C-alpha cells in the first residue's frame, strides 16, 4: 500500500525493538531545502576558490589555524544556506520515535536540524555549525546566525584568541565524546539500523550499518541511488527520506 518493500516486516521489527539507530547524511535535509550534492551552495567543485586554493584546503584545520578569515568566509556561506532551514518530516519522525523506542541518531550533518526537531540521543559526528568554541580557553557559546557576529573571525570574550565553529574541518580528528558515544551504542547493540540519505563513504559511517548482521539487526537503506553500503542492506527503499519515514510512521502508529 505504501510502495515500500516489506514495510510490514520493518514495522513488526520496530514494535519489538529495544533500540534503533539512524545514520543520516545530507540527503535527509533535501526536503528542508538544503542541497544533497557535495557541499552547500555550490562550494564544493573542481575549481579553486577566490583565495587560490581547493575548498578542501580552505575548510581545513591548517588554514583555520593560519588564515582563519579564509575558513570563516566559507563557513559563513555554508551557514547562510542553512540558517533558515527547518526540520522536515524525516527529522520529526526520528524525534517522535524516541518517545516510543530508545533511538540514537548518528548524523554527519552540521546543520543542526536533528537538534531543532528534538532528537536527544544525537551523535553529531562532524559537529554543529551553530556552536562556537575557543580553541585556547575552551569557551563555548551558541549563535543563531552568523549575521549577528560583528567580525569574522569573532574574538573570544575571555581570551585573546578567536572563536571557531565546533565542526570537524578537513584534516582534523573526530570529536572524542561523539566517538565514545558511538562505541557505546555499538557495544550495547540495536535491533534496527536505518541509513538515510548518505553515501556512507566514511568508514565510521559505514561500519555501524555493515555490522547489523553481526548484531542480529535489520539494516534498511533509504536512498534514491546506490551507495557504499547498498549491497549490505537487508532492504532498500529507493526514495527520499521524508517520503519513506512518513510512510513508516503512519504504518507504525496505526493500530496493530
Quote the number of domains for the chain. Answer: 2
Is 17 in the same domain as 120?
A: yes
Assess if residue 96 is contained within a domain: yes
Task: Report the C-alpha gap between 77 and 58 in whole angstroms.
Answer: 12
CA–CA gap between residue 200 and residue 130 (Å, rounded): 24
Check whether residue 90 and residue 101 sit in a common domain: yes
Average pLDDT over residues 217-223: 97
Ordered strands of the 164-167 beta sheet: 140-142, 127-133, 164-167
- pLDDT tens digit string along 85-129? 999 999 999 999 999 999 999 999 999 999 999 999 999 999 999
Residues 223, 113, single domain; the answer is: yes
- What distance in Å separates the CA atoms of residue 73 and residue 139, rounded to the nearest whole number? 21
Are 223 and 112 within one domain?
Answer: yes
Give residue 45's pLDDT. 52
Q: Are residues 240 and 116 in the same domain?
A: yes
Q: Is residue 18 domain-shared with residue 95, that is, in the same domain?
A: yes
Q: Tell me: do 228 and 140 sit in the same domain.
A: no
H/E element, 140: strand 140-142
Q: What average pLDDT does the structure give for the chain?
A: 92
Do residues 138 and 73 both lie within one domain? yes
Residue 16 belongs to a domain: yes
Q: In this predicted model, which residue has the larger pLDDT, 21 or 160? A: 21
What is the average pLDDT across 183-208? 97
Shared domain check, 220 and 200: yes
| pLDDT cut 90: percent of the chain above it | 82
Residue 167 is predicted with a pLDDT of 97
Final residue of a structural domain among 115, 146, 167: 167
| Domain span including residue 139 | 55-83+133-167
Rounded Cα distance between 23 and 33, Å, is 20
16 & 61 share domain:
no
Give the contacts of 237 (CB within 8 A, at least 6 positions apart).
4, 5, 220, 221, 222, 223, 244
126 is catalytic: yes
Answer yes or no: do 66 and 155 share one domain.
yes
Q: Residue 38 falls within a domain, yes or no?
A: no
- Output the domain CATH number for residue 111: 3.40.50.1220
Of 145, 167, 189, which residue constitutes the final position of a domain?
Answer: 167
Q: Please tell me whether residues 16 and 116 are part of one structural domain.
A: yes
Q: Among 91, 114, 126, 162, which one carries the catalytic annotation? A: 126
Say yes or no to pLDDT of 41 above 50: no
Amino acid at each position: 500500500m505504501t510502495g515500500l518493500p516489506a514495510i510490514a516486516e520493518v514495522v513488526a521489527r520496530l514494535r519489538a525493538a529495544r533500540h534503533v539507530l539512524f545514520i543520516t547524511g545530507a540527503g535527509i535535509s533535501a526536503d528542508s531545502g538544503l542541497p544533497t550534492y557535495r557541499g552547500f551552495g555550490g562550494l564544493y567543485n573542481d575549481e579553486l576558490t577566490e583565495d587560490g586554493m581547493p575548498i578542501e584546503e580552505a575548510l581545513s584545520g591548517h588554514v583555520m589555524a593560519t588564515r582563519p578569515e579564509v575558513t570563516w568566509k566559507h563557513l559563513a556561506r555554508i551557514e547562510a544556506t542553512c540558517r533558515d532551514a527547518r526540520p522536515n518530516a524525516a527529522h520529526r519522525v526520528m524525534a517522535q520515535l524516541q518517545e516510543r523506542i530508545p533511538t540514537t541518531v548518528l548524523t554527519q550533518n552540521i546543520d543542526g536540524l536533528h537538534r531543532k526537531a528534538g532528537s536527544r540521543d544525537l551523535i553529531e559526528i562532524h559537529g554543529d555549525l551553530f556552536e562556537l568554541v575557543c580553541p585556547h580557553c575552551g569557551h563555548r557559546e551558541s549563535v543563531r546566525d552568523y549575521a549577528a557576529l560583528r567580525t569574522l573571525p569573532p574574538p573570544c570574550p575571555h581570551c585573546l584568541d578567536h572563536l571557531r565553529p565546533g565542526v570537524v574541518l578537513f584534516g582534523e580528528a573526530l570529536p572524542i565524546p561523539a566517538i565514545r558515544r558511538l562505541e557505546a551504542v555499538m557495544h550495547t547493540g540495536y535491533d534496527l539500523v536505518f541509513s538515510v540519505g548518505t553515501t556512507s563513504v566514511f568508514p565510521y559511517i559505514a561500519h555501524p550499518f555493515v555490522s547489523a548482521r553481526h548484531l542480529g539487526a535489520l539494516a534498511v537503506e533509504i536512498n534514491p541511488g546506490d551507495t557504499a553500503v547498498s549491497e549490505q542492506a537487508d532492504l532498500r527503499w529507493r526514495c527520499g527520506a521524508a517520503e519513506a519515514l512518513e510512510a513508516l510512521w503512519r504504518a507504525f502508529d496505526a493500530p496493530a
